[in-house]
Amino acid sequence: MELQRGLSQFDLTNIIVGAIVGADIYIASALTAGLVGPFSIVLWAVAGLFAATIAMVFAYCSYYVPRVGGPFAYVSEAFDDFYGFLTGWSMWIAELLALPVFAIAFANYLQALVPLTPAAEVAVRALFVASLTLVNIVGVRAAGRLNDALTLIKLSPLFLLIVAGLGVFFIQPETFAGNYIPLLPLGLDNAAHALVLIFWAYAGFELGTLPAGEVQNPQRAIPRAITSGMLIVSAFYLLTNFVLFGVVNWTELDQSTVPLVVAGTALFGSAGALIMTVGALFSVSGSNESGMLGSARLAYAMAIDGLFPRAFARLHPRFNTPYVVLIAQGIIAFILSNIGNLSGLISFAVLNLAFSFLLTCFALIVLRSDSAANLRGQHILPLAGIAICLFLLYSTTTFDKIVGVLVILAGIPVYLFYSPKQDIHHLKALFLSEETVLQRRLEAKETYLANFLDIIRTISRRIRRLDGREPGGR
């Protein structure tokens, strides 16, 4: 099979946007209202800068390790399999925590439509996890126009919220001023922890990098794609939260588990609440946005490398998906969704992400070569990334630090037990081939905001084509 080469900068940008933006915005928005009030809008900008810096580190690592993207591969190449395992282990834990977060959020938004008893909430979370697990095993994907329609259903409520909110801002600026003043009503004591929670919404770029062999002129294309992609993501997040905190007072947002429904109600009444709730339910229940298959692939990659239970490498005979690890993840996620809360799960996820990012930043210091490439900022970026990761680790709660250390240490006996085993060569060769890596990365172009950008681009091209036709032309 001939491998597709020469991905455009637009394609790369879309992969980055698609890997980051999902239903997170329905969850993370206003999660920090009770910590820093409307000052959250500033932290959204800071978190975007943090994420862009580390995303560049990942992109440059993928340049030096073009076989396959991912921190597990980068760190293993730079150091050895033990540190690569710890990186993959902590990354898997972080990705795994996304599913219970979405299960809790789904029940919260459904509660806005239908009152649920505690028993009913547990049942809803169980059904959510079970159905999502089944969908990922079967490998159902919305295609073509159906996927476009689902994208519009998910994003239209947010765009409607942004447009209407900005209209209020220009017509009645005093409403926004009243809600934004004072900007920092609670001081900066909790600002660092609030930044940790917001940073979670930007996670995903680690799944959006490509082997450099697919990219034309990677020295220029990769930095530009990362920059433009992160600018689009940051603008989307900032506009949503600017409207959210401007339309609804932070004290009211702090009391709600469904802040976007509160904002929709403030702008459009009960109809707005219904629109935002439907958009949230469609988004949160989307299999692409859950990250479930992404974390399963990571566990599968480590299993075929001989570092995870061999059972995790089993593929379904009909659907060709890693069904054993998907079922295991579903069971763990259901348990966590009933004993954890949104802030706690997200904070712990960021701790594990920051640890894996930290090792990846160190890996770039080892991997970089001035003679092989002249990538802009490859000397300063890993140092900045290390500082950011240490800050994120320091800013998590004491409980997160203690449990995080225990979880990471728990990975050591797993490594010692499985590391003498041989990898599964035929599965490893297939999974890490450039064709399959490229296919997995291109899936990000078909999700959420990235797909919306692709729709706009397709429409604009057709319009230009029609305008460019002359009478008698082809």
Whether the predicted pLDDT of 451 surpasses 70: no
Percent of the chain with pLDDT over 90: 32
178: confidence class by pLDDT, cuts 50, 70, 90: very high
pLDDT of 219 above 90: no
Q: What does the pLDDT read at residue 352?
A: 93
Residue, of 83 and 361, whose pLDDT is higher: 361
**Domain range list for the chain:** 9-465
Domain 9-465 has CATH 3.40.50.720: no
Q: What is the mean pLDDT of residues 287-306?
A: 65
Cβ neighbours for 55, distance < 8 A, ≥ 6 positions apart? 16, 205, 206, 208, 226, 229, 230
Q: Please tell me which residue, 349 or 68, carries the higher pLDDT value.
A: 349
Q: 256-266 burial, b if ≥16 CB within 10 A, otherwise e? A: bbbbbbbbbbb
Q: Is the pLDDT of residue 9 over 90?
A: no
Q: What pLDDT, on the 0 to 100 scale, is given for residue 445?
A: 46
Lowest-confidence range among 132-136, 352-356, 453-457?
453-457
Q: Above 90 in pLDDT, residue 386?
A: yes
- CA–CA gap between residue 298 and residue 288 (Å, rounded): 15
Mean pLDDT of 140-159: 62
Distance CA 104, CA 113 (A): 15
- The pLDDT score that the predictor gives to residue 67 is 55
Question: What pLDDT is stored for residue 194 in this prediction?
Answer: 94
Q: Phi and psi of 215, rounded to 5°?
A: -115, 130
Least confident of 91-100, 112-121, 356-365, 441-450: 441-450
pLDDT over 80 (residue 425): no
Higher pLDDT, 115 or 65: 115
Report the chain's mean pLDDT, rounded to a whole number.
79
Band (257; pLDDT cuts 50, 70, 90): confident
User: Quick check: 346 pLDDT over 80?
Assistant: yes
Q: Say how many CA atoms lie within 13 Å of 10 toward its Cβ.
A: 8
> What is the average pLDDT across 237-261?
92
Token readout for 372 is 């092989």
Among 43-47, 209-213, 252-256, 371-375, name the one with the lowest average pLDDT: 209-213
Whether 448 has a pLDDT exceeding 90, the answer reads no
For the cut 80, the answer to whether the pLDDT of residue 70 exceeds it is: no
pLDDT score of 205: 72
125-142 core/surface letters (b: 16 or more CB in 10 A; e: else): beebbeebbebbbeeeeb
Query: Worst-scoring range by mean pLDDT, 16-25, 53-62, 190-199, 401-410?
Result: 16-25
The whole-model pTM stands at 0.81
Token pair recorded at residue 50: 């943090």
Mean pLDDT in residue range 458-474: 64
Which residue in 338, 336, 382, 391 sits closest to 363, CA to CA?
382
Asked if 441 contacts 69 with a C-beta cutoff of 8 angstroms, the reply is: yes
